[in-house]
Structures are given as C-alpha cells and as structure tokens.
Amino acid sequence: MESIDILTGQHVIIKYEPAGILRRGCALIIDYIIMFLYIYIIIYSFWGLNLFPPVSRSIQNIIIFIIFLPIICYHFFFESFMGGRTPGKLIAGTRVTLLDGSPPGPIAYFLRWVLLPIDLFPTGIGVGGLFIIFSQRHQRIGDFAAGTVIVRNAKPPKLDLDKDFIEFSEDYKPTFSQVELLSDGQVRFISYMLYDPRNKRAITASIQSLSFKVKEILNVESPLDDYSFLETVVRDYNYYAWQSISM
C-alpha cells in the first residue's frame, strides 16, 4: 500500500496513506452538492417566496454578497474550523496536513483556497487533477504553495512498549550516559534508520553522517563502527527509559 513518509519536527517518521484522485474527487463532489443545495435554498427562500426585503439596489447587492460569502469562502472557512476538513473531506475520510505532520495555519488554508480556481481550471479537476496524479505526494498547486498534503484519516500512532522498551538485566551498564541529551523523537529516527527494512539504501548512504551528528550532540568519541555505535546509543537510551518506567 502506498504511503507518504512525513518527518515531524521531532525527527519522527509518521506514515500516512495519501488520498488519491478518486477519493479527493468524491470529497469535492460532495462539497459541490452541499454548495448547490445552499444556493438553491437561498434562491428559493429570497426570490421564490419573495422574502427579499424592499431596500435599495446597493443594499440588495451587499445582502447578496453576505448571503453568498459562505460559498465563496467555503473551503477556507471549513478547513480552518474543522481541522483541515470540509464536509466532503469528512465524509470521504480525508484531511489536510502540513508536510511535517502538524496542523496547517490560516495562511496555508488561505493559499489552498485562493489557488483552488487554478487547480479546477478548465474542467473542474483539470490542472490540479494532473498534479495530484503525477506528483510524488499527490499535491495540487495549492498544496505545493501551502506546503500541505491530503491524507486519509488515520489513528494516531500508538506507543508499543514491547517494541520501544526492552527489559535489561540488573548488571547492565550503559556505555553513553550522555544519551539523555537526545529527545525521544531523535532516538526513534535513529531506530528507523537502523532497523526499518525498507530503509537499507538510506542506511548505506546516511549512517556515517548520522553517527557523526549523534557524536557531535553527545560530545563523545567511540572506537565502535558507526552502526554499532548507533545501536549502543539506542540501547542505552532505552535502558534509561526502562529504568524510569520500572521504578
């Protein structure tokens, strides 16, 4: 199954399943239907039932603008107040997130909204649809500008104590007490580089520079080879973590 690897600000790799063109198109169609129903109800209520107040033309234009403002700002409004979702995205099971996995801010939502007409040109899912199909993270133009991706809803990652913490013998002596300078996210990133079977090529290319960086953070030297050094760092870090939860 295809996935998007998102590296968080804490150097934790989170895997999300990207929302494909069909799921995104389904969400957009649902949003279109909701907008159409809103417009139909407004037109029928104000003009069909003659509920429009007897005011001047200029006042009528202002009222019409206010009435249709929710449609004009539909995506910006709902994504801002529904955590990256519109009603269509909610039903389709998708949401907007930044490339680092954090929730987008108003500027990101605004950029996605203001560039939506370009993405929809000329057929409704034209230019944006091509970008979604062929871009690596399935991003439309608005996503590239805002630094966002559309992912399928996923439960937050759970902590697996059996995998993340190991029981140690009483005579275990950590090699590097300085590992407490590392954050949990940094150690998870090191573990990912060491043990994820899908990351073998990255290990060959990056393990030396990663080892150098960790030694720099800990301010240590070691006769161990780079791979063994990083394994020892992870093991020592887990030892201190195991001590803290076993007391």
- For 101-112, the pLDDT digits (tens) are 778 999 999 999
Within this chain, do residues 47 and 79 fall inside the same structural domain, yes or no? yes
Residue 46 has pLDDT above 80, yes or no: no
Last residue of a domain, one of 152, 177, 210: 152
Q: Cα dist. 174→163, 194, 215, 222 in Å?
A: 19, 19, 16, 13
Residues 198 and 110 in one domain: no
The answer on 166 and 147 residing in a single domain is no
At 149, which helix (H) or strand (E)? strand 148-152
Per-residue pLDDT, averaged over 232-243, amounts to: 82
Average pLDDT over residues 30-49: 86
Residue 204 structural domain: 161-246
Whether residue 165 sits in one domain with residue 146: no
Report the pLDDT averaged over residues 48-61: 73
Domain count of the chain?
Answer: 2
Confidence class for position 180, pLDDT limits 50, 70, 90: confident
Q: Quote the pLDDT of residue 57.
A: 77
Q: For residues 180 and 240, what is the distance between their CA atoms, to the nearest angstrom?
A: 8
- Token output for 212: 């150098």
Do 197 and 165 lie in one domain? The reply is yes
Residues 46 and 27 occupy one common structural domain: yes
Same domain, 64 and 32: yes
**Residues whose CB falls within 8 Å of the CB of residue 189, separated by 6 or more in sequence, listed in order:** 7, 11, 12, 13
Say if residue 217's pLDDT is above 70. Answer: yes
Cis peptide before 122 (omega within 30 of 0): yes
In the chain, pLDDT over 70 holds for what percent of residues? 77
Same domain, 105 and 210: no
Do 98 and 220 sit in the same domain of this protein? Answer: no
The pair phi, psi for residue 199, each rounded to 5°, is -115, 20
Distance CA 227, CA 160 (A): 24
- Return the pLDDT at 109: 95
pLDDT at 3 exceeding the cut of 60: yes
pLDDT, mean of residues 43-48: 75
Does position 8 have pLDDT exceeding 90, yes or no?
no
Window from 94-98, 128-132, 190-194 with minimum mean pLDDT:
190-194
Q: What is the mean pLDDT of residues 160-184?
A: 71
Rounded mean pLDDT, 192-219: 73
Same domain for 122 and 10: yes
121, 241: one domain: no
- The region of weakest confidence among 2-6, 116-120, 171-175 is 2-6
Domain final position from 152, 185, 202 = 152
How large is the average pLDDT for residues 99-124? 86
Q: Is 147 in the same domain as 178?
A: no
Boundary residue ending a domain (131, 152, 173): 152
Q: What is the mean pLDDT of the chain?
A: 80
* SS percent in the chain: helix, strand, coil, step 5: 60, 10, 30
